[in-house]
């Protein structure tokens, strides 16, 4: 009997050691991914659109600015995108890089194609997979060009940001292919007409502002969507930014019994976005969204109003330090 137990233990040890070796030798893979044929423009209108997206609905400035400038960004300041934001979650410590055109520490040495590839396919300049924080795979060519054009137009800021550090869980997800390049599921449009229509609202909610990314329940380890779209339930456990608070995203469908905005009007929806942050450590980038213009907020409201109501009760959205999410 002892011999059988020893054999079984030996097999388990070999499996564990083998998996450890596999993860640590396989996670740092480089991906060959083609570059989108998109090029920056010097047209002032294109650059202005890019700035609006970066500081507004695409909320790039909510992450690609120094930690000590986050409040200023939230209050409407146009802080240079010199990076430095850091988030500690189970897969690792993620740091947003410097997006100013500094040659040594920023994107000054990047080609337009390399920047577009990061946005469209989540592949970094060096070929490594990027964690899926940016849902821009199907952003229109016009808007991708606008963002790249604005990034190119900034003054370079020298700020060396340490690279992201993956935990063993993060390395395992990379090694097993759970995190990897993710391209568009559909052909990205050349242009999406900006207006107050449901069509444009859909584009904002799913591609640019990424409402779906937070208002849909996800597996906290893999990031996989496991809930119904826009029905809430995404958990945000305490992290280095939340001062001990935890959050759960609310249901934003029009279900009358559980949808948080179901009793709102278009006017009250717009007013809520204009009023900005209520809880100072909420993961919702209220500062960026408060900059959205009325046309886009109307489009967003009309799209959300068009969705089928989903009954999903989210009884509590803010949890005090030490209070567990049920």
8-59 tens-digit pLDDT: 777 787 787 777 887 888 888 888 889 999 999 999 999 999 999 999 999 9
Give yes or no: residues 123 and 170 share one domain. Answer: yes
- Give the model's confidence band at 153: pLDDT under 50 very low, under 70 low, under 90 confident, else very high: very high
Q: Are residues 124 and 204 in the same domain?
A: no
* Same domain membership, residue 216 and residue 152: no
Count of CB atoms situated within 10 Å of the CB of 66: 21
Confidence at residue 289, expressed as pLDDT on a 0 to 100 scale: 94
Assigned domain for 106 exists: yes
pLDDT at 14: 78
pLDDT of 95 > 90? The answer is yes
The SS3 call for residue 306 is helix
Which pLDDT belongs to residue 225?
86
Residue 186 falls inside a structural domain: no
Is residue 255 domain-resident? yes
CA distance 25 to 40: 37
Does residue 242 come out as left (phi exceeding 0), alpha (psi in the -120 to 50 range) or beta? Answer: alpha
Under 8 Å between Cβ of 92 and 164: yes
* pLDDT reported for residue 165: 94
Tell me: the pLDDT tens digits for 224-245? 889 999 999 999 998 888 899 9
Q: How many CB atoms are closer than 10 A to CB 16? A: 10
169 and 203 both lie in a single domain? no
Domain boundary among 141, 175, 209: 175
**Is 56 inside a domain boundary?**
yes
And the tokens for 230?
């826009």
Based on the fold, state whether residues 157 and 252 are members of the same structural domain. Answer: no
Q: Is residue 138 part of a domain?
A: yes
Structure tokens at 199: 């069509």
The lowest-confidence range among 155-169, 174-188, 189-203, 247-261 is 174-188
Q: Three-class SS of residue 319? A: strand
Q: Which pLDDT belongs to residue 42?
A: 97
Longest CA–CA separation in the chain, Å: 79
pLDDT at 75: 87
Domain membership flag for residue 55: yes
pLDDT at residue 119 is higher than 80: yes
Q: pLDDT per residue over 42-52, tens digit each?
A: 999 999 999 99
Same domain? For 229 and 164 the reply is no
Nearest to 188 by CA among 37, 298, 299: 37
Look at residue 280 in the predicted model and tell me its pLDDT. Answer: 85
Tell me what percent of the residues of the chain surpass a pLDDT of 90: 69
CA distance 248 to 234: 5
Residue 178 has pLDDT above 90, yes or no: no
Q: In whole angstroms, what is the distance from residue 64 CA to residue 87 CA?
A: 12
Residues 6+ apart with CB under 8 A from 5: none
Is pLDDT above 80 for 148? yes
From the centroid of its chain, how far is CA 135? 6
For residue 205, is it within any domain? yes
Structural domain contains residue 266: yes
pTM, whole model, 2 decimals? 0.91
Q: Which domain holds residue 157?
A: 44-175
| 121 and 234 together in one domain | no
d(CA 260, CA 312): 10
Per-residue pLDDT of 278-313, as tens digits, reads: 888 999 999 999 999 999 999 999 999 999 999 999
> Do both 166 and 247 map to the same domain?
no
End-of-domain residue from the set 124, 142, 175: 175
- The secondary structure element, H or E, covering residue 248 is strand 246-248
Task: Report the number of distinct structural domains present in the chain.
Answer: 2
Whether the CB-CB separation of 64 and 83 falls below 8 Å is answered with: yes
The CB-based long-range contact list for 68-77 (8 Å cut-off, 24+ gap) reads 73/287, 73/288, 74/276, 74/277, 74/286, 74/287, 75/287, 76/287, 76/290, 76/291
User: b/e per residue, 245-280, with b = 16+ CB within 10 A?
Assistant: bbbbbbbbbbbeebbbbbebeeeebbebbeeebeee
Of 117, 141, 175, at which residue does a domain stop? 175
Q: What does the angle CA 130 – CA 287 – CA 195 come to, to the nearest 5 degrees?
A: 85
């Amino acid at each position: 009997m002892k011999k059988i137990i020893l054999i079984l233990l030996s097999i388990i040890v070999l499996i564990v050691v083998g998996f450890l070796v596999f993860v640590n030798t396989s996670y740092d893979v480089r991906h060959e991914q083609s570059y989108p044929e998109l090029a920056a423009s010097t047209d002032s209108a294109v650059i202005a659109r890019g700035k609006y997206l970066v500081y507004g609905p695409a909320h790039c400035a909510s992450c690609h600015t120094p930690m000590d400038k986050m409040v200023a960004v939230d209050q409407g300041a146009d802080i240079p995108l010199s990076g430095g934001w850091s988030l500690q979650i189970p897969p690792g410590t993620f740091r947003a890089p410097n997006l100013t055109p500094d040659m040594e520490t920023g994107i000054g040495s990047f080609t337009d194609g390399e920047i577009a590839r990061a946005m469209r396919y989540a592949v970094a300049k060096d070929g490594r997979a990027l964690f899926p924080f940016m849902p821009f795979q199907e952003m229109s060519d016009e808007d991708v060009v606008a963002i790249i054009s604005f990034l190119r137009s900034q003054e370079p800021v020298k700020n060396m940001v340490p690279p992201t550090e993956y935990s063993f869980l993060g390395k395992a997800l990379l090694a097993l292919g759970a995190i990897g390049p993710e391209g568009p599921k559909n052909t990205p449009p050349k242009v999406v007409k900006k207006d107050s229509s449901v069509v444009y609202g859909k584009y904002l909610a799913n591609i640019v502002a990424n409402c779906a990314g937070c208002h849909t329940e996800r597996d906290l380890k893999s990031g996989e969507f496991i809930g119904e779209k826009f029905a809430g339930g995404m958990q945000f456990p305490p992290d280095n930014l939340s001062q001990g608070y935890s959050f759960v995203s609310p249901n934003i469908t029009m279900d009358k019994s559980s949808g948080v905005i179901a009793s709102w009007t278009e006017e009250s929806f717009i007013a809520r976005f204009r009023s900005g942050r209520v809880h100072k450590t909420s993961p919702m980038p209220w500062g960026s969204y408060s900059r959205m213009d009325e046309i886009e907020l109307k489009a967003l409201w009309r799209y959300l109003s068009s969705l089928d109501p989903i009954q999903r009760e989210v009884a509590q959205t803010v949890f005090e330090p030490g209070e567990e999410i049920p």
